[in-house]
Amino acid sequence: MPYFGFKGGIHPKYNKSATQSKTTVTLPVEIGEVVHIPLSQHIGAPAKVLVKKNQQVRVGEPIGEAAGFISTTIHSSVTGKVVAVGTVEHPVGGRVPGVSIQVEDATNDYIRLEKAGSFQKGVMAAGIAGMGGATFPSHVKLSPPKDIDALLINGAECEPYLTCDHRVMVERTEDIIKGSVIIKEKLDLEKLIICVEKNKPDAIEAFKKFESTYGFELVELEVKYPQGGEKQLIKAALDRVVPEGKLPMEVGVIVHNVGTAVAIYDSVEHGKPMYERIVTVTGAVKEPKNIMVRIGTPISKLIEYCGGFVGTPRKIVMGGPMMGLAVTSLDTPVMKGTSGILIYKEEDLPNLNQYKCMRCGRCVETCPMGLVPSAMDRFVVKELYEELADWHVMNCIECGCCSYTCPSRRTLAGGFKTSKRLVAGILRAREEKKNG
């Protein structure tokens, strides 16, 4: 299939060689250890807790039920006893409601999902949320109120350092395809397109072997960040442009990550709920790895499993370096959207001194959303949120290309991210005023 490309973007150092060829290993579960499972691991309402302190639970047993349509189920990732129903660490917002469970049986025998009334209800019961990091509940994406003709499977994994999607594509190629075909058939779609960046030739070759059997199309994407952004992927693979403020369904498309496709396959074919995922642990650790981890496992255990830190860690990021979140506690648990744990040493961190904008225009050239970050930055600094709204900050995908490319080291993307909540309030008020 042709590649149509997208405007802007950057070519950061990819730094994937430490883990891209390493087969996924499973982190052993030990009797006595405690997992801390947040009830809010997805976009939307946190799940409603279903268990009480001292209750026995098994792997795959629901411990939280979806609190509305934009929410999803949370399952126990271990077999053992609930030792606390309270709060647990979360990379956003300190502590959030969650359930702590002490392991009493280290096996991986999970409770099979019961038959649901529909495909979408089954995906909700399986607790599947987008595994690329956005964590949008998958059953919502699979219930589009508009006509859809194309399913894009996102195997770009354009974030530097991360290789968990790469390993899924090499190790579970046919299961990704089967999961994608299930979605295509359930939603009666015309096109199934699997998109992979060209820096993963082994994954591309693996998919090619199945192309004629399953009748999908393969797009080999240019290696460019943020190629995996939904809007950029849709433009690159289908030459369709999602209008400002709209979702992919507006142009007839649904996008799912490769890991999500596997989770859907596992739920439909094996009745498996989402209680574990692959995490890339890399950067300043002795042995970087791709690890299958039970949800709720503290990141300290993953770091220990990788031989511990190299040198003194200065920053730990959950996710990739461009869009990940810095964590402040090693007790922070792995969640459904945790694609990586990246450890920086002092010397890995850039000089953080900011200088005045020199109006070089690089941020404007690289913004994949066609925004003017330098102008928006002036409004952020002066707290002029009405103006920021008029300059379309809500269209910012927080990719960080502008900050990366800025010679004055302005923390542009961070400012836009924190301002968006205030701007959303302004836009809501404007809409209410317009509608009387």
Q: Which is nearer to ligand SF4, 69 or 355 (CB)?
A: 355
Burial class (CB in 10 A: 0-12, 13-18, 19+), 408: middle
Determine the straight-line distance between the first and last CA of the chain, rounded to whole angstroms.
49
Q: Which residue ranges make up the site for ligand SF4 (CB under 6 A)?
A: 357-363, 367-369, 371, 373-374, 377, 396-402, 405-408, 410, 412-413, 416
Distance in Å, CB of 343 to ligand SF4, minimum: 24
Geometric angle at alpha carbon 210, from 204 and 215, rounded to 5°:
110
How far is Cα 16 from Cα 24, in angstroms, rounded to an integer?
A: 14
Q: Which is nearer to ligand SF4, 95 or 392 (CB)?
A: 392
Q: Which is nearer to ligand SF4, 340 or 368 (CB)?
A: 368
Q: Which is nearer to ligand SF4, 13 or 52 (CB)?
A: 13
Torsion over CA of 420, 426, 429 and 431, rounded to 10 degrees? -70
Q: Which is nearer to ligand SF4, 293 or 399 (CB)?
A: 399
Distance in Å, CB of 258 to ligand SF4, minimum: 23
- Which residues have CB under 8 Å from 97's CB, separation 6+? 38, 39, 40, 46, 49, 86, 87, 88
Distance in Å, CB of 144 to ligand SF4, minimum: 24
Distance in Å, CB of 133 to ligand SF4, minimum: 15
How far is Cα 52 from Cα 391, in angstroms, rounded to an integer?
A: 48
The amino acid present at 225, given as its one-letter code, is Y
Distance in Å, CB of 370 to ligand SF4, minimum: 8
Q: Which is nearer to ligand SF4, 170 or 376 (CB)?
A: 376
Distance in Å, CB of 416 to ligand SF4, minimum: 5
Geometric angle at alpha carbon 254, from 251 and 259, rounded to 5°:
155
Q: Which is nearer to ligand SF4, 149 or 387 (CB)?
A: 387
For residue 202, the Cα-to-chain-centroid distance in whole angstroms is 23
Q: Which is nearer to ligand SF4, 272 or 410 (CB)?
A: 410
Q: Which is nearer to ligand SF4, 18 or 372 (CB)?
A: 372
Place of tokens 């890991």: 259
The packing angle between helices 164-171 and 201-208, to 10°, is: 30
Contact 44, 137 (CB under 8 A): yes
| Helix boundaries (H) for 272-372 | 299-305, 362-366
Distance in Å, CB of 419 to ligand SF4, minimum: 11
The amino acid present at 302, given as its one-letter code, is L
Torsion over CA of 134, 137, 142 and 147, rounded to 10 degrees? -60
Q: Looking at the chain, how many residues does it have?
A: 436
The DSSP result for 159-195, as a single string, is STT--HHHHHHHHSHHHHHHHHHHHHHHTT-SEEEEE
Geometric angle at alpha carbon 77, from 71 and 81, rounded to 5°:
110
Distance in Å, CB of 418 to ligand SF4, minimum: 12
Q: Which is nearer to ligand SF4, 31 or 358 (CB)?
A: 358
Q: Which is nearer to ligand SF4, 51 or 384 (CB)?
A: 384
Distance in Å, CB of 373 to ligand SF4, minimum: 4
Identify the H or E element spanning 426.
helix 412-434
Q: Facing residues of 37 across strands?
A: 99
CB atoms within 10 A of CB 202: 12
Distance in Å, CB of 393 to ligand SF4, minimum: 8
Q: Which is nearer to ligand SF4, 220 or 222 (CB)?
A: 222
Distance in Å, CB of 11 to ligand SF4, minimum: 14
Distance in Å, CB of 349 to ligand SF4, minimum: 19
